[in-house]
Amino acid sequence: IASPGYPDTYPPSTTCTYTFRGSQYQRVQLIFTSFSLRNAPPHLKPHESCQHTDAVAVYNLLCNTTMDLQEVDTFCGLSVPLPVMSSTSGLQLVLTSRTPLDVVTPSPTHSGFTAKFKFITNLGIEGGQQPIPGICKFVYNSSYTSNGTLYSPNPGGYYPQDTTCTYLFYGRPGEAVRLIFKYFDVEGVMPCNEATESDSLEFSNFPSADRKIPSFCGSVAPTVIQSDGAFFRLVFKSNSKFSGTGFTADYQFLDMSYQPYTIKKVIMSAETSSRLMSAWTLVINMLLLVCLQYLG
């Protein structure tokens, strides 16, 4: 898609609406390829700038209708926005040109925008097995691959709102899974729960919650995370507030069946056992003799 008139300057005092409707199990992904709108007045604060200048706003279509919209984000200026993904099967993009005709100065830098759109069922997550298309649930089995990379929804862009993703790891008997995070940006503050209106990343050694591992959010990545056994679960949750750019982690299944510090049972022959008993008896007798001499 492109703004009207692209690559020439888009018209002033104009509103253009682009509406995308996917099937029940699809999400809409927008990848901007160029972006150049008029800058906001310099006296405005950053969070106010897009409200008083030409801008592109993105909305989720709730119930797949344009009568019920949820704002995702608004973009303006010259920087190309990161990819955006809907939290429902519908999305709407609105270009609003607020500049009146009598103050417009033609400029090749105000060419508007271009973007690619996709209807996808895997939320942009490559790798892992997705049992049900459209459902953000992925399975990683060591019998299929022993290592790989894990991503949040819409990798490289803002993760969608109101989304829960479950990542399940199944190792062979005696294996454990280790996660090493390379990037982490999950919107929220400690303790990363509904009370603080935070998005979160939760870990568990069980199909249900695991109290011994805290939830994580913010911009500081967790340290190395390792499961206690062959099964491990990771759950990512986002709310309807702000979105971050998610996380990237490498995973690896490790063979824990051999532990170099495990105490092993030693089976001895009767002859060896008899010799050891004789040696211990001799040592004990010598210690008793020394004690008696000292006391005497």
275 Rama sector, left if φ>0, alpha if ψ -120 to 50, beta otherwise:
alpha
Place of tokens 């709310």: 239
* Structure confidence at residue 141 (pLDDT): 97
**DSSP-derived secondary structure for 64-124:** G-TTSEEEEEEE-SSSPPPPEE-SSSEEEEEEEE---GGG----TT--EEEEEEEEESSTT
Which residues in the chain come in under a pLDDT of 50?
Answer: 102, 261-269, 272-273
In angstroms and rounded to an integer, the radius of gyration of the C-alpha atoms of the chain is: 30
**Alpha-carbon span 65 to 61, nearest angstrom:** 6
Give the rounded percent of residues in the chain with a pLDDT score beyond 90. 65
**Alpha-carbon span 196 to 200, nearest angstrom:** 11
DSSP H or E stretch at residue 129: none
- Hey, what amino acid is at 213? I
Residue 116 CA: distances (Å) to CA of 1, 53, 154: 6, 24, 14
Peptide bond just before 160 cis, omega within 30 deg: no
**Residues contacting 25, CB < 8 A, separation 6+:** 89, 121, 133, 134, 135
Peptide bond just before 191 cis, omega within 30 deg: yes
The per-residue pLDDT for range 43-69, each reduced to its tens digit, is 666 667 788 889 999 999 998 677 789
What values do phi and psi take at 272, rounded to 5?
-65, -40
Per DSSP, the three-state class of 196 is: helix
**Alpha-carbon span 89 to 239, nearest angstrom:** 17
Count the residues in the chain: 296
Give the rounded percent of residues in the chain with a pLDDT score beyond 70. 81
